[in-house]
A and B are shown apart, each in its own frame.
Chain A
Amino acid sequence: MMGNLMLLLDAPGLNLQLLVDGVLVGAIFALVAYGMALVWGVMNLINVAQGELVLLGGYVVFFGTKAGIAPLVAIPVAAAIVATIGWALYRVVIYRVVERDPFSSILATFGLSIVIQQLANQLFGADVRTVESGLGSLLVAHGMLTVARVKLLAFVSAILLGSLLVWFMRATRLGQAIRATAQNSRAARTLGVNTDRVYAATFAINGAICGAAGGLVAMTWMVHPYAGLGYTVRSFMIVVVAGLGSLGGVALAGAGLGIAENYAGFLFGAEYQTAFVFSLLVVILVTRNLWLKRQRRYLR
């Protein structure tokens, strides 16, 4: 570890590489986290199956590109398909646990995550799937820094999608209804908002976000039926840090997490990279709880 630290000090260019990689992948994490924050804020539901929805999006893009669709076209398709799946999941399972205590929603979505994992394994096989973008890499700063164009693309797409969501929430009727329901569902109901439909739409929008993010994941890394948990945990962490309803906060927390992970992987070895993410989650939960207590508020 000391050797790695010395290496970083000797070659400052490496820091740049770790920072850039961290920010670029952080954008994908942030996108998934924003979907989680939306569902959490509006429906008071912690979606443990978030990572699995991401994987479904990845699979759609994988099979879409295999069938000859360009990856960039396949991403909206994935968003549409996973949105439909999200809507169906709401109609079958989620509506039963909305507005109930978080424990039942965690349990129900945890069950969903297992079902999706096993179904994906049965339908698509346990193979590792990846979409080759063929975009290559950019060499920056005399070859000191390499940036995979696909990561850049994922970063830009994540930001575009995030902005689109913000606009949607502010400018459209449905967006307003969603925000009204998030503020006070009972009041929204008395004012004529059909909250059941709002919940269904919210979960479908989350599905669309996850579907698009999944396509980016398949192009940047890979998908296989058991890769979901990592995305759920990361989103959870980002939401806990950034709070609900602030896209800027989510984006910052996402970038921070990406950078922290890259540094941890470099310094402690990749072996501890995931362990580091989980330990960081514990630390964050503890400190946030303390901080909220001091403000006489509680983490819901």
Chain B
Amino acid sequence: MARRLRVAAAMLLGAAVVSIPVAAAAPGVTEGAPIVFGAALSLTGKYSIDGKTTQQGYDLAVQRVNEMGGVKVGGQAHKLKIVYYDDESTSSRGAQLVERLISQDGVQFVLGPYSSGLTKAIAPITEKYKIPMIEANGADRALFTNGYRYLFAVLNTSDNYLRPAVTLVAEATQKAGHEPKAVRVGVVIENDDFSQDVRDGAVEEAKKWGMQLVVDDKLPPELNDMSSALTKVRALKPDLLIVSGHAKGAVLAIRQVSEQLVGVHALALTQCDSAQIIEKFGKAAEYALCAAQWDRSLAYSDRWFGTAENYAQRFEKEYKDPATYESAESAAAVLTFVDAIERAGSLDREKVRDAIAGTDLMTFFGPIKFDPSGKNVAKSMVLYQVQNGRYAVVAPGKWAKARPIYPAPAWDQRQ
């Protein structure tokens, strides 16, 4: 015991000695021990692409905060550090690893994993240890109905993804002098937490306008052919067809809707950009409506990255990949922690938790303000339409860069 104390004392002394010359660089501020975050991310397995993007977003934010001098708490500047584990895209592994991050690696705060399913598995653990977790990639509304006290999400919940698409169709129908009640809606959506919540939101919105739901099919996660569902869509002729099922769903929808010449007036999708529908399908992807959490053209900015466009450029310089919204929301999760810790003026978990709950922050990703359940209620989704081989923001009105094209031309009218 005595020996261990001596070692610890020596280490502390060593740390103090090392920190003096560094602290001299920032006058009046001494350098404290780094603040350690933990994250279990899907670096292998079916979410590995998105897991990697999430990690890049976290890393870029940490890099930026550190190069600006770190987080200042009570006259001390703390650098940030993240300990990562690979959860192999499985929930049980994610929960185990977060338990390990907290109880063995002693991380002070937790950053969320990728996907609603994994967030669901991890939230009970952070709750048990009373460790604040800010997550950026779990959008299912069901995450925020359990009364979790330590869970916060910077992104919009999944029910909001395609509400703007329904509104857009309703408004376009009104403008053309028809009743939105006459609009027929078809829904073909994967049977998983996230996608079903996307469906529920869109259907709620459609009911609000009095639209008729004519197709309501579910896709199993392992399906790679939706032609039988589309045969039904072709027969029942909805005006708006809503398809969601992660990147695979978007790929299938564009491929098979164009192959079967399904003549809907609007096709609304999620995860278009991670599915790279424009790159894959070119003309066949035209006029598709796509939900996104963020776009580089939005006029948000903050003191860390500057504007959304600045963030996107920095990301591309660093990783040679386009900046997707998944990376942006992940970076925003780190920034929210930084802001809350500075306002709390302490590294005490409870104080930081309360500071997070009181967040009212503008970031390059958008405004962040949590409701009592921990979800961000200040930001809104954006809706793209593929126009001339590019994503153009068509809703909400104040961000729109292009006029939505509705109805989309029939297949035989397209070149």
Contacts of B282 in A (CB 8 A): 132
Given contacts A130-B280, A139-B261, A266-B232, contact A271 B217 (CB under 8 A): yes
Alpha-carbon distance A137/B261, docked complex (angstroms): 8
In the complex, are the beta carbons of B224 and A222 less than 8 A apart?
A: yes
Chain A residues within 8 Å of B234, by CB: 17, 146
Report whether B217 and A269 are in contact in the complex, using a CB–CB cutoff of 8 Å.
yes
Interface positions of A from 244 to 290, Cβ below 8 Å from B: 261-266, 269-275
A130 to B250: give the CA distance in the assembly, Å: 12
Docked CA distance A264–B280 (Å): 30
Is A221's beta carbon under 8 Å from chain B?
A: yes
User: B251 and A130: CB pair below 8 A?
Assistant: yes
> What's the Cα separation between A7 and B232 when bound, in Å?
9
Asked if B224 and A221 sit within 8 Å, CB to CB, the answer is yes
Chain A positions within 8 Å of B280 at CB level: 130, 132
On whether the beta carbons of B251 and A128 are closer than 8 Å, the reply is: yes
Instruction: Tell me, in angstroms, the Cα distance from A11 to B44 when the chains sit together.
Output: 47
- Complex Cα spacing A291 to B46, Å: 41
Quick check: B47 and A222 within 8 Å, CB to CB?
A: no
Q: What is the chain A residue whose CB lies nearest that of B216?
A: A269
Contact A271 B191 (CB under 8 A): yes
Contact with A along B196-231 (1 / 0, CB 8 A): 000000000000000000000111101111111101
B218 touches A271 (CB 8 A): yes
The answer to whether A230 and B222 have CB atoms under 8 Å apart is yes
* A21: B residues at CB distance < 8 A: 227-228, 231
Contact with A along B231-266 (1 / 0, CB 8 A): 110111000000000011001100100111100000
CB distance from B137 to the nearest CB of A (A): 15
Contact partners of B47 in chain A: CB under 8 A? 126
Contact B229 A269 (CB under 8 A): yes
Distance between B168 CB and nearest chain A CB, rounded to angstroms:
26
Of the listed residues B226, B228, B284, the one surrounded by the most CB atoms of chain A closer than 10 A to its CB is B228
In the assembled complex, the CB of A141 is this many whole angstroms from the nearest CB of chain B, namely 13
- A89 adjacent to chain B (CB < 8 Å): no
**Contact flag A271-B219 (CB < 8 Å), given A128-B275, A148-B260:** yes
B223 lies within 8 A of A270 (CB): yes
B49: Cβ under 8 A from any A Cβ: yes
The 8 Å CB contact of B247, one of A18, A127, A265, is A127
Is A169 in contact with chain B by the CB < 8 A criterion?
no
B-side binding surface: helix, strand, loop or mixed? helix
A126 and B224 form a contact (CB under 8 A): no
Chain A hits for B372, CB < 8 A: none
Decide if B46 touches A126 in the complex (CB within 8 Å).
Answer: yes
* A128 and B248 contacting across the interface, CB-CB below 8 Å: yes
Number of interface residues of B (CB under 8 A): 39
Q: How many Å from the CB of A180 to the closest CB on chain B?
A: 39
Q: Does B76 contact A (CB under 8 A)?
A: no
Q: Which of A151, A270, A273 has the most CB of B within 10 A?
A: A270
Chain B residue numbers with a CB within 8 Å of A226 are 46, 222
Interface presence of A4 (CB below 8 A):
yes
A274 closest partner in B (C-beta): B220
- Asked if A163 lies at the interface with its beta carbon under 8 angstroms from chain B, I say no
CA distance A152 to B198 in the complex (A): 35
- A146 pairs with B261, CB closer than 8 A: yes
Known A128-B247, A269-B218; judge A4-B232 contact (CB<8 A).
Answer: yes
Contacting pair A266 B46 (CB below 8 A): no
Residues of chain A within 8 A (CB-CB) of B304 are none
Asked if A122 is an interface residue, CB under 8 A from chain B, the answer is: yes
Beyond A121-B48, A132-B281, is A18–B220 a contact (Cβ under 8 Å)?
Answer: no
Q: Are A262 and B227 closer than 8 Å at their CB atoms?
A: yes
Nearest-CB distance from A117 to chain B (Å)?
10
Query: Complex Cα distance A139/B236, Å?
Result: 18
> Which of B224, B231, B284 is the one whose CB lies under 8 Å from A14?
B231
**Given contact pairs A273-B220, A273-B223, A262 touches B247 in the complex (Cβ within 8 A):** no
Interface 1/0 per residue, B42-77 and A, CB below 8 Å: 001111110000000000000000000000000000
List 19 other contacts, CB 8 Å, given A139-B261, A146-B259. A7-B235, A14-B231, A25-B225, A118-B44, A125-B48, A130-B280, A132-B280, A132-B282, A148-B260, A222-B224, A224-B46, A227-B222, A230-B224, A262-B228, A263-B228, A264-B228, A265-B225, A266-B232, A271-B218
> Residues of B with Cβ closer than 8 Å to A?
44-49, 188, 191, 217-220, 222-229, 231-232, 234-236, 247-248, 251-252, 255, 258-261, 275, 280-282, 284
Subset of 27 A-B contacts with CB under 8 Å? A7-B236, A18-B231, A121-B44, A121-B45, A121-B46, A122-B44, A132-B280, A137-B259, A146-B259, A146-B261, A150-B259, A221-B224, A221-B225, A222-B224, A222-B251, A224-B46, A226-B46, A226-B222, A230-B222, A262-B231, A265-B229, A266-B232, A269-B217, A269-B229, A271-B219, A274-B223, A275-B220
